[in-house]
Amino acid sequence: MNAIPFSVEADLPIYDHRRPVLRTRPRKAWKHFRELLKDKERTDEVFRIFEALPWRGFTAAGVKFLSSERGQALRAREPYLPAILDDHAALRRMPAGSLAHAYCDFMEREGLSAAGLVEEFEKFAHDKPRFQDQFLWYLNRGRDVHDLLHVLTGYGRDGLGEACVLAFTYSQQPSPAHLFIGYMAGLNMKKTVKSSAPVLRAVREGQKLGKACPRLIETSITELLPLPIDEVRRRLNITPPRQYHEAHRVWRAMGIDPYDMLGKNPPVPNVDIAQAA
């Protein structure tokens, strides 16, 4: 198992106030979104959009949680999620039909790993200042639960599925970047592929479904993994998305594969920067 790349010592400050306060920069977000449209696998562009459209309440939420007994207990129990999530041998020993098995199935089918997402983030953050505080743990969990949300919600890794997961996440972690990418991606799909598919309704539904779910980054993942996935969804108030599957049905009836509807290099929509802001 790889070493944890940051300290989980109890005497670390909860928040290092030398951390820079990120400014909202819509033009920068739009620039990086245009690059993302050219290749949706450019994870570094996603990180840059989030940097340009930060959740201003992130610090307060993290400090509040880490100041609680529950937050400290969870930090001690789950110091580094990628090490837990990438141990598929241990996860496969959990009961069949569990969240653990569904997660392994998804990650193996897609050729993904939790460590891979960390590596992508490190490429983005390699030249940025590092801060050793407890908030780093909270910050990382926002990244590390992303693929779990795909499994729990049933949204795939197609363009619409990613947009819907981001909209879902916005209701838990309200960074403007979640909605910006989600809705702008939806608009691009509607512009590129003319159809009656309820694309924007699907994104809006994802946002609505996320409101009913407790904040996953503040939830014990190790408690959820051995449970039947349907039970986990009940506990988290996650219900199946309807508009997303209806959009897929419409596209497939047109002979369009929802997982390859835009290709690798779709045209960039001509959207005014004022709309992007």
pLDDT of residue 202: 98
Residue range 13-49, pLDDT digits in tens: 999 999 999 999 999 999 999 998 888 778 889 999 9
Residue range 161-193, pLDDT digits in tens: 999 999 999 999 999 999 999 999 999 999 999
Which residues, other chains included, contact 81 with Cβ-Cβ below 8 Å and sequence gap of 6+?
114, 140, 141, 144, 145, 221
CA distance 230 to 232: 5
pLDDT of residue 240: 96
Q: In this structure, is residue 254 part of a structural domain?
A: yes
Q: In this structure, is residue 102 part of a structural domain?
A: yes
Q: What is the block-wise mean pLDDT of the chain (277 residues), using blocks of 10 residues?
A: 46 93 94 88 89 94 97 97 98 98 98 95 88 95 95 96 96 94 94 95 98 96 98 98 98 93 43 34
Give the number of residues written for the chain.
277
pLDDT of residue 7: 47
Q: In this structure, is residue 42 part of a structural domain?
A: yes
pLDDT of residue 43: 85
Measured between alpha carbons, how far is residue 242 from residues 50, 156, 220, 246 in Å? 28, 13, 28, 6
Q: Into how many domains does the chain fold? A: 1
Q: In this structure, is residue 19 part of a structural domain?
A: no
Q: In this structure, is residue 232 part of a structural domain?
A: yes
User: What's the whole-model pTM score?
Assistant: 0.87
pLDDT of residue 262: 53
Q: Judge whether 202 and 247 are in contact, CB under 8 Å.
A: yes
The boundaries of the domain holding residue 97 are: 26-276
pLDDT of residue 275: 34
pLDDT of residue 37: 85
Q: In this structure, is residue 14 part of a structural domain?
A: no
Q: In this structure, is residue 2 part of a structural domain?
A: no
What are the structure tokens assigned to 175, written together?
A: 């960074």
